[in-house]
Amino acid sequence: MAKLNDLTLAEARDGLAAGDFSAVELAEDCIAAMEAARDLNLFITETPEIARERAAQSDARRAAGGAHGAMDGIPIAVKDLFCTEGVLTTAASHILDGFHPPYESTVSQNLIDAGAVMLGKTNLDEFAMGSANMTSYYGPVKNPWVGAAGEDLVPGGSSGGSVAAVAANVCPGSTGTDTGGSIRQPASLCGVVGLKPTYGRCSRWGIVAFASSLDQAGPFARTVRDSAIMLKAMAGHDPKDSTSAPVEVPDFEAAITGDVKGLRVGIPKEYTLDGMPAEIQALWDRGAEWLKQQGAEIVPVSLPHTKYALPAYYIVAPAEASSNLARYDGVRYGLRVDGDSLDEMYENTRGAGFGAEVRRRVMIGTYVLSAGYYDAYYVKAQQVRTKILNEFKQTFADVDVLLTPTAPNAAFPIGAKMDDPVAMYLNDIFTVPANMAGLPGISVPAGLDADGLPLGLQIVAKPFDEETMFRAADALERAAEFTAKPKYLGGQGG
């Protein structure tokens, strides 16, 4: 018999409502799957005792006939970038050793309020900086899909543990954060659905900050419908985050109508890259055809500033990171390495506490913000950002959504691209523009490459129009009929 951890979120929700099984039974299967998957290194901290307690509470609520949350009894994994009250929160950094936040992030609190059951805190790139989950102090995460010769592959990053937990059927949903692509790119590499909502849709309060003007939380799930259910539970205005938008959260699941007739889908020509694998271009063309067959109108569009998005991101993101990470000084949080003076203690702590990629970002960020370089780099990057935003605004006067590939490659072997930061940064070439402009974007598994590894397609929509994004994503999902499973789950796939 299939285990309960194999169910989608909607199936688990409906099964709980029908009384087919209890939240405790569901949690036990997910805990067993979490323990069986330890070789993938998905979790930094497992919290089975919390899962059991919350599952029992959910069953008690249901038995008492009381009010239910939209995710009552559903097990989830939480990226270890969300502060969780009393539970170790590391951001995958040595510098946060032993940090047990006295508060809960708004998004994880919203999920608790919706009845979700936390299984544990997932592995990630240190401070969410990376595209392969290779920079974690706690070691790499393995993708449940493996290479053609059986080699271990990266799950993408930075939300590597969260994405792989969903791809390995440990749980039906998990949280991620996306600053330049850290939800959508790993979703593409692991064959699951991942989305970044509009900037401001989810509160950033209590999420360890990387680049505050770009960071957004979002869900991973195995279907578009599941993502819609989970985003609704995560989102909402929060007075504790001044950039959180005071807008209503629509019923995203109800927006999935199955009807894309007349939808105008833009295909930006600048997203065709030299040297991009032919199968990614072919998949993109097929995606456009699928939408057209369902009555959408395909519109070629041009976004000429796209090519500046990635370089500008790698100025803005490190600049904000260098400022946000100034708080880790050996006094307020986690690790302290003593020295003969206060300055030496700061230096020793930060030198020992931050990994190589984080130190690189802090140095780039400090450089581009320093007197003499500020105008040449930081101000220029902000101007480019405005141009990108304006270009999207003009384009969205003519189209409802954009269709693009999610990533320029499938999953690659653990250890690859590590000696070439620019090659690693290129992973986010198609995802970064949406962060620079604050737009919602979703990656839907759409096909396999020649090695049997998953590839995703991305839908980008107007600000706060996640409903249209979900509608288009559902149309892609239905046409793609992506049913391949990783070898880890006994599938034919890589």
171/407 with CB nearer ligand GLN: 407
Cα–Cα distance between 285 and 446 in angstroms, integer? 11
Rule CB under 6 A: choose which of 59, 104, 126, 178 binds ligand GLN.
178
Q: How far is the CB of 128 from ligand GLN (least distance, A)?
A: 4
Tell which residue, 257, 223, 252, has the closest CA to residue 11. 223
With vertex at residue 80, the alpha carbon angle to CA 21 and CA 494, rounded to the nearest 5 degrees, is 70
DSSP 246: -
62/196 with CB nearer ligand GLN: 196
From the list 61-69, 172-180, 385-393, 469-477, the region that binds ligand GLN by CB under 6 A is 172-180
Cα–Cα distance between 120 and 187 in angstroms, integer? 19
From the list 179-187, 262-270, 297-305, 337-345, the region that binds ligand GLN by CB under 6 A is 179-187
User: Is the separation of the CB atoms in 438 and 223 below 8 Å?
Assistant: no
Token pair in block for residue 229? 């259910």
Cα–Cα distance between 287 and 271 in angstroms, integer? 14
From the list 123-131, 160-168, 227-235, 256-264, the region that binds ligand GLN by CB under 6 A is 123-131
From the list 49-57, 175-183, 236-244, 465-473, the region that binds ligand GLN by CB under 6 A is 175-183
Taking CB under 6 A as the rule, which mask of x and - marks residues 317-356 in contact with ligand GLN?
Answer: x---------------------------------------
From the list 69-77, 99-107, 127-135, 337-345, the region that binds ligand GLN by CB under 6 A is 127-135
288/310 with CB nearer ligand GLN: 310
Tell which residue, 363, 367, 378, 358, has the closest CA to residue 316. 378
Q: If binding is defined by CB under 6 A, does position 158 make contact with ligand GLN?
A: yes
140/181 with CB nearer ligand GLN: 181
Residue count, binding to ligand GLN (CB under 6 A): 13
Cα–Cα distance between 224 and 217 in angstroms, integer? 16
Q: If binding is defined by CB under 6 A, does position 411 make contact with ligand GLN?
A: no
Q: How far is the CB of 136 from ligand GLN (least distance, A)?
A: 13
Q: If binding is defined by CB under 6 A, does position 129 make contact with ligand GLN?
A: yes
Token pair in block for residue 52? 């059991």
From the list 7-15, 98-106, 124-132, 232-240, the region that binds ligand GLN by CB under 6 A is 124-132
Q: How far is the CB of 236 from ligand GLN (least distance, A)?
A: 22
Is residue 23 within a helix (H) or strand (E), and if so which, with residue range? helix 23-36
Taking CB under 6 A as the rule, which mask of x and - marks residues 423-452 in contact with ligand GLN?
Answer: -----x------------------------
b vs e for 161-177, b when ≥16 Cβ sit within 10 Å of the residue's Cβ? bbbbbbbbbbbbbbbbb
Cα–Cα distance between 422 and 414 in angstroms, integer? 17
Q: How far is the CB of 339 from ligand GLN (least distance, A)?
A: 30
Q: If binding is defined by CB under 6 A, does position 130 make contact with ligand GLN?
A: yes
Q: If binding is defined by CB under 6 A, does position 182 make contact with ligand GLN?
A: yes
- Within 10 angstroms of residue 209's Cβ, the number of other Cβ atoms is 19
Token pair in block for residue 391? 């270009």
Please, is 332 exposed, middle or buried when counting C-beta atoms within 10 Å of its C-beta (0-12, 13-18, 19+)? exposed
Peptide bond just before 158 cis, omega within 30 deg? yes
Cα–Cα distance between 182 and 195 in angstroms, integer? 9
Q: If binding is defined by CB under 6 A, does position 179 make contact with ligand GLN?
A: yes
Token pair in block for residue 197? 């909502």
- Within 10 angstroms of residue 386's Cβ, the number of other Cβ atoms is 12
Q: How far is the CB of 427 from ligand GLN (least distance, A)?
A: 6
Q: If binding is defined by CB under 6 A, does position 181 make contact with ligand GLN?
A: yes
Hey, which residues are catalytic here? 79, 158, 182
b vs e for 85-102, b when ≥16 Cβ sit within 10 Å of the residue's Cβ? eebbbbbbbbbbeebebe
Residues 193-212 that bind ligand GLN (CB under 6 A): 210
Cα–Cα distance between 153 and 238 in angstroms, integer? 38
106/435 with CB nearer ligand GLN: 435
Amino acid at 151: E
Rule CB under 6 A: choose which of 74, 128, 439, 453 binds ligand GLN.
128
Residue 354, CA distances (Å) to 18, 310, 461, 474 in order: 49, 24, 36, 41
Q: If binding is defined by CB under 6 A, does position 42 make contact with ligand GLN?
A: no
Cα–Cα distance between 325 and 211 in angstroms, integer? 10
Taking CB under 6 A as the rule, which mask of x and - marks residues 279-318 in contact with ligand GLN?
Answer: --------------------------------------x-
Q: How far is the CB of 18 from ligand GLN (least distance, A)?
A: 38
Determine the straight-line distance between the first and last CA of the chain, rounded to whole angstroms.
Answer: 24
Q: If binding is defined by CB under 6 A, does position 180 make contact with ligand GLN?
A: yes
317/448 with CB nearer ligand GLN: 317
Which residues in this chain contact ligand GLN in the complex, by CB under 6 A? 128-131, 158, 178-182, 210, 317, 428
